[in-house]
Amino acid sequence: MKRVGVLLLGALPVIAAGVYLAVPDDSADSADTASSASSSSPATAKSARDDAKDRAEKEREADDALIADLPPGLAAPAKKELAQQLVSSAENSTTKWRTAYGSIEDVGDGDGYTAGIVGFCTGTHDLLMLVERYTEDHPDNGLAEYLPALRKVDGSDSHEGLDPGFTAAWKAEAELPAFRAAQEEERDRVYFEPAVRLAKLDGLGTLGQFVYYDAMVFHGPDTDAEGFYGLRELAMAKARTPGQGGSEKAYLDAFLDVREQAMRDKRPGIDTSRVDTAQRRFLAAGNMKLATPLVWEMYGDTYRVP
């Protein structure tokens, strides 16, 4: 998972101009209208994303009013539960996501230890933020003593100051309801709520909202070219969002293309099951409501939700 310290918005940016429309009734549009991409320097692109961030903060109230009138989509309790099962099948190889609070291992991807229900990482800032926020409310917790080490290894794959006791401390803390709740709160604050919010503003239905959420978890909510917002910007250069009058299916196809390429660029040879044999299958089947029963494959294993 990428760093999450760069951008944590309550209101999310719209990188390209367009009119917000109500979420279509989770059905793909028939039109397939692509917008042409304009060339720009990296500095110009970063400036545009920063401008979008400013816009998001200023227009939060209007966006809140719009979202309040839309269907719950992925935020509906049953759909949110399904979303956690789908993400967990990719992050922890099980749909029983509540068994993963205490999971922790270095999977050799350069991000240090990966832990918990959405794969918080010692090298990507989100695990550090989780422990810092948890410690504010529970100063005597078993992970607090590792905060200096977590700050030192942030941004690297180093275990310096964490071994040998950190993994045992994580597992022990994960037995406590307070730390389990903290993991869920951080997941929602950093990943789920921003992703669903922006997907709704882009006119996407339940499947599209999940596509954004899973990408946010994997790539991180950053405004740089490799973060979620950079990928969204690339996708919007290839196809219009439904909120801009484009085809929902065409836009999601473009987004998944961009995302899959980014995954391969970051980790050559990576298994892209979470895109190819899950999200693309749902999209090809026209399952824009992410309706159950649902069947997908992840790393060669088949999962079913009745």
Residues 213-223 pLDDT 10s? 999 999 998 88
My answer on whether 212 and 281 are in the same domain is yes
Mean pLDDT of 140-158: 98
Residue 180 lies inside a defined structural domain of this protein: no
My answer on whether 227 and 278 are in the same domain is yes
Residue 148 lies inside a defined structural domain of this protein: yes
pTM score, whole prediction = 0.84
The model's confidence at residue 288, banded by pLDDT at 50, 70 and 90, is very high
Range of the domain at 125: 102-173
Catalytic residue of the set 59, 109, 132, 193: 109
DSSP string, 70-92: S--GGGSHHHHHHHHHHHHHHHT
- Exposed/middle/buried for residue 229 (C-beta within 10 Å: 0-12, 13-18, 19+): buried
Q: pLDDT of 75-92, one tens digit each?
A: 999 999 999 999 999 999
Q: Closest Cα to residue 207, out of 196, 221, 194, 219? A: 196
Q: Give me the pLDDT at residue 9, please.
A: 38
Catalytic residue of the set 26, 91, 106, 202: 91
Q: Regarding predicted confidence, which is higher, 145 or 39?
A: 145
Mean pLDDT of 10-22: 36
Residue 20 lies inside a defined structural domain of this protein: no
CB contact at 8 A, 85 and 40? no
CATH number at residue 165: 3.30.386.10
Q: Which two tokens stand for residue 101?
A: 């609070």
Q: Closest Cα to residue 232, out of 40, 22, 49, 19? A: 49
Residue 90 lies inside a defined structural domain of this protein: no
My answer on whether 247 and 125 are in the same domain is no
My answer on whether 201 and 163 are in the same domain is no
Domains contained in the chain, number = 2
My answer on whether 115 and 255 are in the same domain is no
The model's confidence at residue 42, banded by pLDDT at 50, 70 and 90, is low
Average pLDDT, whole number, for the chain? 87
My answer on whether 150 and 272 are in the same domain is no
CATH number at residue 233: 1.20.141.10
Known catalytic membership, residue 51:
no
Q: Give me the pLDDT at residue 241, please.
A: 98
Known catalytic membership, residue 25:
no
Coil, helix or strand for 248?
helix
My answer on whether 63 and 132 are in the same domain is no
Q: How far apart are CA 65 and CA 229, in angstroms?
A: 23
Cβ neighbors of 37 (< 8 A, separation 6 or more) are 237, 238
Residue 29 lies inside a defined structural domain of this protein: no
My answer on whether 213 and 291 are in the same domain is yes
Angle at which helix 193-201 crosses helix 60-68, to 10 degrees, equals: 80
In eight-state DSSP terms, residue 302 is E
**Residue 100 identity:** A
Mean pLDDT of 253-259: 98
Q: How far apart are CA 48 and CA 54, in angstroms?
A: 10
My answer on whether 208 and 137 are in the same domain is no
Residue 155 lies inside a defined structural domain of this protein: yes
Residue 11 lies inside a defined structural domain of this protein: no
